[in-house]
Structure 1
């Protein structure tokens, strides 16, 4: 049985093919990084709920006492806030978050119409359609729970994501962000969730790059011979010119 001999020729062949494979990923890293840097940061960032211009809340004397609302006494938290121009009580219980009208105490369910009203505070563009999502998609992956996706008929093809539990606008995305997200996927090599930067694939590529660098230095030194340093020996053996004094 012929034994495998570890020689510079073998390392050179392996180095060549691994360099070709990793070189493609290096190209994708450079391309994706350049494209992400060229995109407008403000357009990529989109808009979040903090940018909504909420209506001023009425004084407490014009609202119902939260203690009169059934189920509020067992709540672990209560917030008075604006929802599509109307004051509501957001009550946190063991079963989740519940909403009640602050004027009458009636329970509120976030349906398509209310989600559209909440999302309309983000932009004046006309609404194209509304889609119910039982769980977040890639565009709203930072959030959890069921939500509504409201698509607008504007130049950016904007989409607002509204929580089906709280009615809050979670995030708003556009075509610029979607372009950035595609190149972000290529950059961090997470082709499934697009969130992890320490998954097995990128770890494998990182160690492959380290091996490629090590073998590259090995082959670099192996490629030199004595003839390459002949000019240095000639320079050392050259006699110095005599110094004459006047």
Structure 2
């Protein structure tokens, strides 16, 4: 009976301590399985771009551009963008540099009207762009750094397209659905600040405590089933006698 009493107390108090987090785990799992990840990523609002052939003869070589800029380049990536072909120069040290592959110079700054037009061209759905704002610092939800254009749409999901200020490309998409999903994801992994770390000590401790609930639950079940079995056999013997 001491084992039963100890197991009952452990099970009760540990369950009380971690029960709310277990509820968040279950709720988060429900949200993540109920909402298709394609909807979370707003993939249904992405207009498929037509392939635009690149006239390679008209492009400047990345080596020439790097020498003109005094850069020691470790690599270069040619990309087709809404503002024309672009070289992404990757220096041996420092951040990548984006330039027009035609002129070798940085693209002219985007204005709000052009950002809104580029976002509208990349969007499909019933919404229309309502605002285009250049942010000096990319919001945390973008997972990026530096300046970025934010263009909001007036659809049901309150979709937001974030655009590169250099190339006008849509670098990431967010919406009310994504933010709802992200909220439960953060609760699920117990990282409310960034929503990235699911190996921190707190979640390990709570998971271990939840494991002890399962173990003590099995102990309680085994003891009670054994007691019920013993009582049932005693009643049968008494009835037979």
Q: What TM-score, normalized by structure 1, do the two folds share?
A: 0.73
3-state DSSP class of the match of 1:76?
A: strand
Greater helix share, structure number: 2
3-state DSSP class of the match of 2:15?
A: helix
| Whole-Å separation in 2 of the counterparts to 1:181 and 1:32 | 9
Deviations for 1:155-186, whole angstroms, at most 9, x for unmatched residues?
Answer: 32111223456654221111222221122222
| Whole-Å separation in 2 of the counterparts to 1:35 and 1:140 | 21
* Runs of 5+ consecutive residues of structure 2 not aligned to the other structure: none
| Whole-Å separation in 1 of the counterparts to 2:98 and 2:229 | 80
| Whole-Å separation in 2 of the counterparts to 1:172 and 1:226 | 59
| Whole-Å separation in 2 of the counterparts to 1:101 and 1:194 | 35
1:25 and 1:96, CA in 2 relative to 1: closer, same or farther beyond 3 A? closer
Q: How does 1:53-202 map to 2 (within 5 A)?
A: 53=49, 56-64=52-60, 66=62, 68-69=64-65, 70-71=68-69, 74-93=72-91, 94-108=93-107, 111-113=110-112, 115-116=115-116, 118-123=118-123, 125-137=128-140, 139-141=141-143, 143-164=144-165, 167-202=168-203
- Displacement of 1:132 after TM fit? 0.9
1:39 aligns with 2:42: no
1:7 and 1:81, CA in 2 relative to 1: closer, same or farther beyond 3 A? closer
* Runs of 5+ consecutive residues of structure 1 not aligned to the other structure: 1-5, 240-246
Q: Which moved more, 1:62-71 or 1:178-187?
A: 62-71
| Whole-Å separation in 2 of the counterparts to 1:86 and 1:202 | 47
| Whole-Å separation in 2 of the counterparts to 1:185 and 1:151 | 24
| Whole-Å separation in 1 of the counterparts to 2:94 and 2:61 | 22
Q: What TM-score, normalized by structure 2, do the two folds share?
A: 0.74
**How many pairs are equivalent?**
231
| Whole-Å separation in 2 of the counterparts to 1:44 and 1:53 | 21
For the aligned residues, what is the CA RMSD?
Answer: 3.6
- Displacement of 1:135 after TM fit? 4.4
